[in-house]
Chains A and B, each alone.
Chain A
Amino acid sequence: MKVVKENIIFLDPTLGSLVLLRSEIRKFVSELVSKQLQNRIIFSLDEIVTNVIEHGGILSLDQKIEIRILEYTDYLCFTVIDFGKPFDPTKYTGADSKQKLASGADGGFGLNAIKKVASLHYTRLVAENKNKLDLHFRKDNHG
């Protein structure tokens, strides 16, 4: 498959860097997909990166989160590579919402939403001690 365009972003593992993430994604995809898909992509990436920052247990600011954005003919691929603790979102089955409502525990709904609009592929890079998550969005995804 031919790569049409690509970009790589390195983010600090802080919530403040989400602003940069959103603007970079918007810049990359604005001419390529519908406004709705743009919002979904931003929402998805926002969720994933927020999860990494809030629950990944990254200890150092030097452990940047790498986002690779690749445009193929029919779809867009977003790869998130992080130093967080191992977590495979594709195996996350979804929490019992009732249970969660009662306990007030956090998380889960974002991932479910992402799975609805994108296909996810997880790899643990053992040698480098990193997580690698690919998100594929079809360009004609209008819901």
Chain B
Amino acid sequence: MDKKQILRIITPGLRTKLSFITILLVSVILVVTSVVTYRQQKNALQEKLELEIKNPLVYLNGIVLELENINRSLVLIEEFKIRVEEKKSELKKFKRTVVSKEVGFLGTLKDLGQSIGLAVKRGNVYTSVDTYYSRYLSDKEISIFESKIKNELQGEAGKPIDDINYQRIQKIAKAAALEKIKSEKYKFRVREISDLKESINAYISDTSIDEISKSKLNLERDQLNKEFIQISKNIITSDAKALNFESNLNKALLNIFKGNYKEKIDSIGLLPDKIRIFVYDKHGKESLDTASLFPLAPETSKKLLLREEYKQILTDLFSKKQIETQFNSNSKSIDVVGRQFEVLTKPVFKNPDSAERAITLLGFLQKEKDFYNQYFIEDTKIAKEIKTLSTEIRIRLRELRKTGKTKPGSDKVFRELTEKYRSLISKREAKFKELLPNQNVIAENKIKWKEQGLQFKKNFDDLNAKLSEWKLKAKSNQKENEKIYSIEEIDYKIQTLESQLEEMRDNIALHESSKDDWTKFIHEMSNDSVLYLRDASLHDFSFIPYKTGNSNINKYYKSGDERKRIQTKYTHFRNWVLSANSETELPKLRGTEIYNDSGILVHSRSEVEEAMWELDGKPLLESIEGKRGLIFEILEKDIIGFNIVILDRTDGIRQIKKNREETMRYVAIIGLFAILLSFIFSHLFVRRIKVISKNAEQIEKGNLNVTFPKAGYDEIGILTDSLNDMVSGLKERDEMRGELIAAEEIQKRLLPEKLPTSLSDKIEIAAFYKAMTGVGGDYYDFIELNDGKLVFCIGDVSNHGVGPAIVMALFRSQIRSIFRRGERNLKKVLLEANASLYEETPDHIFITFFLALFDPVNSQVEYVSAGHIKPLYFDASKNKIHELPAGGLPLGMDENSFFETTIERRAIIMDSSDVFFQYTDGLDEARSPSGDFFTREQVSKILLDNSQTSVNEIVNSFVKDLEKHTTFNLSQSGMSALSDDIAMIAIKKL
């Protein structure tokens, strides 16, 4: 067995390869299908669950906000009560006593008595009246606020809270309020101590003070330090207590609302066995667990809550650092003993109007980091100016408060300062409008909206026109040339068009209503956030809303009118703050109550003013990476806690896995079937190829009597036909090769077997012939004539192959027969040969021919040339090579009438040692491997160099130099690899 056969056995065949490819393909399909399906189903499940938790989550967020509001309000009410008591005495000094005459029935009676001369006099009545500075929240206002809050405290089925329960929560709220006030006072004292310490330090560093005073001051400073430490501890304690009381209050409130919440959560379809929601405040205290509302529901995630991964989520969420940064929702999957849980954490913000704006802007800036950079630079500058201005206003207010006579709104200096403030706010707005980087985007959005509207309108009109057309068809007779429709068809068409028209009408209405809808346009919303975030935040600070949730901001984004209204309200509110005419009463706008939907104003104008300075005096964004700027501060203040949603996705995931396994099973069955089919098909395929392969092996062995069986019209069929054609071609070529060999044999025989020797005493003769591959067209001959003369000739038939070889053979015979006939005139010989060649051979076959006749008597060489190369002649007397004239038209190219004009008989007398040399163009045009010709100059040189030697040696020299030039072995008999035949003859006169 040879190597090839062994390789054939061990190398996998087509069947194996095809089966392997099929397996590979099936595996890839299997993997891709299962991955894609798994992903799709997982996404579908995710979407389904998200949809399921959406409503409960919104509701729970509402609960959290509501609880926060009520908690805050209850504590505020108690705070107000305490403060009012305290402030009553504090603000007493700002009250004014008004003296008026006694009024009423008694006063009138006294007046009457006086008029009739009685000794009675109407007395003076002294009343204490509030001034601007003495005005704070009244008992009445607090009581209205309290009753509103009390009304909201409703239990299951709207049952109002009983007095015992209310007193209990009131007590907790009061405790929280007391701790808050305490903490505030401590903080105030801390600031005082800091100021005092600074003053003492300044005194101590003064060198003019004596040592006794210094030691006194030092002692005082030490005492302040001790107090500072004690108060700092007190602050922590009070804050912690306040937090604790607030938390207890939250729990107490939750107990009140529990029944109410449970009913609601139940009605919005929360699946307690699949979804569990925890509500945490921002300090990590749990305020609600849906599992506690549904005691019968299984404790879905009991084991999960004990897992380290879950605990880590909580730790991360409530560590200080995380709270500052977690403004976005997050989710994590946790596997608990074969059950799959998804833990979602979502932040809860208390003031949606400001929080939503901040989140929108932050989201936009995360994508387009440098978008508002230019404006933010201006904003920072203006904020700085406002900060400086607000200090001036604060000082002025302090001065006014000292005297308590003029209210700020009536003070000229204050008014000038606030005017400056107003102009800075206007400047900031104008800067934003000037630097607005997305004007084009907004304009484009408007154009697109308009274009879509026009398109809808056009579609509507088109449909309407079609409908009218069909309605007309239904009424009138149809034209002869048109397609005829049945009444049913027309009715159906009309109905379809009507429903399309209805749909289009809805689209138009929907489109019209979306005219000012910003919810899909982030650029508009971001711009709004930049402009109104401060106003929204100020509003959130000042009011406790009646209604919680995102509905207000959603309405704001959707409606242009609403935006206009809210923006007017913001401006009006700022004006109220800046005009400083009243501390607690909000003015109406052109007689309308524009703050009706705002909620309860829970801060005095002065407090709001402080907050406004704080908001306006801080840059909106300082660094997005460093999370510095007002946007971040607002979010940090607004975050009140987190919702942690635990989704039990086990069933869904199991179903997905089951589906995947089922898919895999089906794909595997199909795959196996595919492999089997591929094996069968490849078997059939290979069987046909094997037959071809066997036959091909026969051809390889030289057996051309092989027929490939017909194999249809596919690629193998085509291959079989081609192979059959190839075999017949090979057969023909084989036969032709035989013919060629025969032709070569004939050609060889045409050349003289041996050179003539009859004139060996007078001349030396040598010749050389080398054929190229195949049958050549060169020829030379020597003919000994009976009169002692010698004819020698050399010729080159155009083209190569069997045809020209036959022409040459015939031509040789003709020349010989003409001379045998006795003709000695060389021109006539050529004319006769030309006549028959011109007549009998095709146009492309002609012969360049040189014919010469040597006369031994006078050593004359008479010659004629028919387009052949000029012969070379070595003149021994001059030791010089001459190029003898030749010319003439090649034989067979033109008719004799023209041919004879081109032929010239010439003669030359040979002297002793002269050499006559003639050759075919194969010699001077022989190429070297680099493609260079041997050249006629080289031929002349070799002839000259060897002219003193015998003609055989001359020829041998040519052969040697030629071998060197072509690198072919020309001395060897048989055919060569030359590109053309070479023939040469040399005659030397002895």
Complex interface: chain A residues within 8 A of B907 (CB)? 101-102, 104
**Cα of A97 to Cα of B902 in the assembled complex, Å:** 12
**Cα of A104 to Cα of B889 in the assembled complex, Å:** 19
**Chain A residue nearest in CB terms to B897:** A143
Could you say which of B894, B895, B905, B908 contacts A97, with CB atoms under 8 Å apart? B905
In whole Å, how far is B857's beta carbon from the nearest beta carbon of chain A?
A: 16
A66-74, A78-86, A106-114, A126-134 - the one binding chain B:
A106-114
Q: Interface 1/0s, chain A 89-107, versus B by CB < 8 A?
A: 0000000010011101111
A27 CB within 8 Å of chain B = no
**Chain A residue nearest in CB terms to B905:** A101
In whole Å, how far is B541's beta carbon from the nearest beta carbon of chain A?
A: 98
Complex interface: chain B residues within 8 A of A43 (CB)? 889, 893, 902
Q: Interface 1/0s, chain B 890-927, versus A by CB < 8 A?
A: 00011101100111111110000000000000000000
**Chain B residue nearest in CB terms to A106:** B885
Could you say which of A39, A101, A104, A109 contacts B887, with CB atoms under 8 Å apart? A109
A35 CB within 8 Å of chain B = yes
Tell me whether A39 and B885 are in contact in the complex, defined as CB-CB below 8 angstroms, given that A112-B901, A113-B901 are known contacts: no
Could you say which of A102, A105, A113 contacts B898, with CB atoms under 8 Å apart? A113
On whether the beta carbons of A40 and B901 are closer than 8 Å, the reply is no
In whole Å, how far is A21's beta carbon from the nearest beta carbon of chain B?
A: 15
**Cα of A112 to Cα of B889 in the assembled complex, Å:** 13
Number of interface residues of B (CB under 8 A): 20
Complex interface: chain B residues within 8 A of A63 (CB)? none
B843 CB within 8 Å of chain A = yes
Complex interface: chain A residues within 8 A of B897 (CB)? 116, 143
On whether the beta carbons of B887 and A47 are closer than 8 Å, the reply is yes
**Cα of A43 to Cα of B887 in the assembled complex, Å:** 10
Tell me whether A39 and B904 are in contact in the complex, defined as CB-CB below 8 angstroms, given that A117-B898, A143-B894, A143-B895 are known contacts: no
**Cα of A20 to Cα of B608 in the assembled complex, Å:** 105
CB under 8 Å from chain A, chain B span 867-896: 884-885, 887-889, 893-895
CB under 8 Å from chain A, chain B span 414-467: none
Could you say which of A39, A104, A107, A112 contacts B908, with CB atoms under 8 Å apart? A104
On whether the beta carbons of B887 and A36 are closer than 8 Å, the reply is no
In whole Å, how far is B256's beta carbon from the nearest beta carbon of chain A?
A: 111
On whether the beta carbons of B889 and A100 are closer than 8 Å, the reply is no
On whether the beta carbons of B908 and A40 are closer than 8 Å, the reply is no
Interface of A, secondary structure class, is: helix
**Cα of A93 to Cα of B227 in the assembled complex, Å:** 147
On whether the beta carbons of B904 and A108 are closer than 8 Å, the reply is yes
On whether the beta carbons of A100 and B904 are closer than 8 Å, the reply is yes
**Cα of A117 to Cα of B897 in the assembled complex, Å:** 11
Max chain A Cβ within 10 angstroms of own Cβ: one of B888, B897, B898: B898
**Cα of A19 to Cα of B777 in the assembled complex, Å:** 21
Could you say which of A40, A47, A101, A117 contacts B906, with CB atoms under 8 Å apart? A101
On whether the beta carbons of A113 and B893 are closer than 8 Å, the reply is no
Q: Interface 1/0s, chain B 597-619, versus A by CB < 8 A?
A: 00000000000000000000000
On whether the beta carbons of A116 and B908 are closer than 8 Å, the reply is no
On whether the beta carbons of A97 and B904 are closer than 8 Å, the reply is yes
Nearest 7 A-B pairs (CB), nearest first?
A106-B885, A113-B901, A109-B904, A113-B902, A35-B843, A39-B893, A104-B908
| Chain B residues within CB distance 8 Å of chain A | 843, 862, 884-885, 887-889, 893-895, 897-898, 901-908
A–B Cβ pairs within 8 angstroms, 11 of them: A39-B894, A101-B862, A104-B906, A107-B885, A108-B904, A109-B888, A110-B887, A110-B902, A113-B898, A113-B902, A143-B898
Known: A39-B889, A101-B907, A104-B908. 6 other contacts (CB 8 A): A36-B894, A43-B889, A100-B906, A107-B885, A116-B901, A143-B894
